Amino acid sequence: MDENSGIRELKGIGEKAGKTFAKVGVHTIGDLLHYYPRGYEVYEDPVTVGELEEGRTMTVTGAIYGRVQVGGTPKMQITTLYLKDLTGILKVVWYRMPFLRKMFARGGVVTLRGRIVCKREGLVMEHPEIFYPSIKYEEKRASLQPVYPLTSGLTNNAVLKAMKQAVESADPGEGILPEAIQKRYGLAGYGEAVRGIHFPETKEEFYHARERLVFEEFLLFILSLRMTKEQEDRMLNQYCFREQEMIEEFLKKLPYELTDAQKSVWRDIRQDMTGIHVMSRLVQGDVGSGKTVVALLAMLFAGLNGFQAALMAPTEVLARQHFENMKRDLLQYEIPLHIGLLTGSMTVKEKKEIYGRISSGEVDLIIGTHALIQEKVQYQNLALVVTDEQHRFGVKQRESLAGKGACPHILVMSATPIPRTLAIILYGDLDISVINELPKNRLPIRNCVVDTGYRNTAYQFMKKQIFSGRQCYIICPMVEESDSLEAENVTDYTETIREVMGRGITVACLHGKMKQAEKDGIMERFSRNEIQVLVSTTVIEVGIDVPNASVIMIENAERFGLAQLHQLRGRVGRGRHQSYCIFMSASKSEETRERLEILNQSNDGFFIAGEDLRLRGPGDLFGIRQSGILDFRLGDVFQDSKILKDASETAGLLLEEDPKLEKPEYCRLRKAFEHVITKNSLETTL
């Protein structure tokens, strides 16, 4: 077997299992080998009850003390066990697992591994993994167990069994890196890296394997950007733009004045759109810095010059919000342009109508989702496409529009402040403008970093805000309870919050496993204040503006990178009311406190990004990708900034030496690069 062999060549993978693996994009052995773990369980030596520490996942061995009890409610049954050793007694609880009472009926010694939390009665271990009898723990002791991303019908054990076969039996090949590059940076061999990423025997082996694979990932991405940039440099601007007095009148009528940073970016955009070549510009602005009005100015510039402009949003809810806001502005400021909305959930009749209006040129400004670049959409004279960073506008999309007679200007809006040195590498195909100041009428968000003992106080504070007419977000890192991860989970937490908030306060749950229509419906209800508390995962990181939301509490804040925490915080502080962000952390680590204190003291996203880059070391990376920038399988641009810079340097040297990568030693690299271009079209990375 090799990487091109089908997944069903593995023992135990029949038609049904093959279809399940296909749901996560695994069709071949190569796909499987590149299906990397999302984390690792580290099984360390057990400690005594007296050595347990709050906020950590630890292992303890002891005797079952007394009877195992089942209580709680029918919807949330709680199984309670007491474990005793020479140093003390530990209370242990499981949720929705009443069958454990029979399992432990005979008593004896048990080893448990789980998260330690502090309750009124003292330290409690929540929902631990069970090793009964205790000897079973010895099989995993001191090992690193991979934990894979899963889907319905796919278990971690199923992936493990298939992966072990593939790693042991399949020939992974030599990889794409020339030997000279591998030696220059001391990178692991490809086969060694594949084995080390899935089944590392030590942390050092994991880090060495991961470094090699991240380097490959970054190198392919940067090569794609550099070569795309060369192609785009040759694209001439075929549109004639003239200054429009109506835009200046619009700016004078606005109830606020643009910041100096906004004015500077608007000048950059005007120069691009009136220049010789097609614009490819990234506008990088902090949360709430006013990027949307700059995008609107660019669209008005196109529309008033007789061309069409399209804005592509990441979600339908956000697309509708942009549509309603811009439609209101056109009417209020008497701008003679027509606007239309196009999303995937529209009926066939609605789509047919908007298709006709777009192709006839009746609609000047088009707002929508990815539906904007489907084959059925024919533009009359599209001159500008505005996207966000989640919709990187790639080669395939450019070619699609070029085939319709259009080679539009591209404006990418990013709400993720990252250091300029990294931005230049990551967005090498784009010119960069920065909005680095907030509107003068914005009240700064008030922050606090607290431990779990503050939780009830936080709940009472939220109630006061809600009774004053405001709304609240609560963010959790997980969707469902897990035997292996020690984080607050959304589904169970929502039930708890409903009980805490009581009648008259509507609490809803939002997470990525929901269907898009369901997510959109919840966000719309939240925007109308039909929901007062939204318990969510990070799916709200890119969401609609809800100016009435004044509080966001982030559970297990230690599990997120600073850049992502700052993005989440940006969901509040968008209205005229004072807003608050509560970072809840169970960690007692000084390092964690130092990181979170940066957010406590500053609302400046660019400063925070720089501090994130300074503080996050490779040790933080063991299992958790946190930056949320672009869609790398393994790479994290903050923690892997050195690898990113090395890959960028290598890409420059390679293209300087051999611009088309035609030398024999670059053959595998060129094929991989072509595969990235063809399959992913630069919309996402590997």
Axis-axis angle for helices 316-332, 291-304 (nearest 10) = 60
* Spatial separation of the C-alpha atoms in residues 238 and 352, rounded to whole Å: 29
pLDDT score of 136: 85
Residue 5 has pLDDT above 80, yes or no: yes
CB distance 588 to 621 below 8 Å: no
pLDDT level of residue 442 (50, 70, 90 thresholds): confident
* Spatial separation of the C-alpha atoms in residues 343 and 327, rounded to whole Å: 16
Residue 487 has pLDDT above 60, yes or no: no
Superfamily of the domain at 237-277+289-414: P-loop containing nucleotide triphosphate hydrolases (3.40.50.300)
* pLDDT tens per residue across span 264-289: 999 999 999 999 988 989 999 887 78
Instruction: Name, of 83-87, 371-375, 514-518, 674-678, the range with top average pLDDT.
Output: 83-87
* Spatial separation of the C-alpha atoms in residues 534 and 513, rounded to whole Å: 16
Give residue 246's Cα distance to chain centre. Answer: 39
pLDDT score of 538: 81
Residue 29 has pLDDT above 90, yes or no: yes
Residue 628 has pLDDT above 70, yes or no: no
pLDDT score of 488: 56
* Spatial separation of the C-alpha atoms in residues 512 and 527, rounded to whole Å: 18
**From 541-555, 564-578, 579-593, 620-634, the region with the lowest mean pLDDT:** 620-634
* pLDDT tens per residue across span 59-81: 999 999 999 999 988 888 999 99
Mean pLDDT of 457-466: 96
CB distance 585 to 507 below 8 Å: no
- In sequence order, the 6+-apart residues with CB closer than 8 A to the CB of 189 are 175, 182, 212
pLDDT score of 175: 84
pLDDT level of residue 172 (50, 70, 90 thresholds): confident
Beta bridge partners of 118: 123
Q: CA dihedral defined by 120, 122, 123, 129, rounded to 10 degrees?
A: -70
pLDDT score of 622: 54
Read out DSSP for 508-542?
A: EEE-TTS-HHHHHHHHHHHHTTS-SEEEE-GGGGS
Give residue 326's Cα distance to chain centre. Answer: 27
* Spatial separation of the C-alpha atoms in residues 126 and 107, rounded to whole Å: 20
pLDDT score of 623: 46
- Second-level CATH architecture of 50-142: Beta Barrel (2.40)
The tokens 């039996």 sit on which residue? 169
**From 16-20, 38-42, 496-500, 599-603, the region with the lowest mean pLDDT:** 38-42
* Spatial separation of the C-alpha atoms in residues 157 and 322, rounded to whole Å: 44
The sign of the CA dihedral 151, 155, 160, 163 is: negative
Domain ranges of the chain: 1-43+153-171, 50-142, 237-277+289-414, 446-602
pLDDT score of 380: 93
pLDDT score of 233: 58
* Spatial separation of the C-alpha atoms in residues 566 and 554, rounded to whole Å: 11
Q: What is the CATH number of domain 446-602?
A: 3.40.50.300
Which of 376, 378, 414, 379 has its CA nearest to residue 393?
Answer: 414
pTM: 0.73
Identical fold between 50-142 and 446-602? no
pLDDT level of residue 678 (50, 70, 90 thresholds): low
DSSP state at residue 553: E
Residue 393 has pLDDT above 80, yes or no: no
Residue 484 has pLDDT above 50, yes or no: no
* Spatial separation of the C-alpha atoms in residues 64 and 317, rounded to whole Å: 52
The tokens 């496409």 sit on which residue? 385
Residue 679 has pLDDT above 80, yes or no: no
Task: Determine if the peptide bond prior to 255 is cis (ω within 30°).
Answer: no
* pLDDT tens per residue across span 159-168: 999 999 999 9
Return the number of other C-beta atoms located less than 10 Å from residue 201's C-beta.
12
CB distance 670 to 661 below 8 Å: yes
* Spatial separation of the C-alpha atoms in residues 677 and 399, rounded to whole Å: 12
Q: How many residues make up the chain in this entry?
A: 686
- In sequence order, the 6+-apart residues with CB closer than 8 A to the CB of 324 are none
CB distance 349 to 355 below 8 Å: no
* pLDDT tens per residue across span 96-123: 999 999 999 888 999 999 989 888 888 9
More confident residue, 234 or 533: 533
pLDDT score of 174: 78
Mean pLDDT of 659-679: 78
Residue 218 has pLDDT above 70, yes or no: yes
- For the chain, helix, strand, coil in percent to 5 are 45, 20, 40
Residue 75, judged by CB atoms within 10 A of its CB (0-12, 13-18, 19+), counts as exposed
Residue 230 has pLDDT above 70, yes or no: no
pLDDT score of 448: 94
- In sequence order, the 6+-apart residues with CB closer than 8 A to the CB of 643 are 211, 214, 215, 218, 635
Axis-axis angle for helices 516-527, 316-332 (nearest 10) = 40
Q: How far is CA 188 from CA 106, 208, 213, 458, 645, in A?
A: 50, 6, 9, 48, 18
pLDDT level of residue 40 (50, 70, 90 thresholds): confident
pLDDT score of 79: 95
Residue 15 has pLDDT above 80, yes or no: yes
Pull the structure tokens for residue 87.
Answer: 């140093």
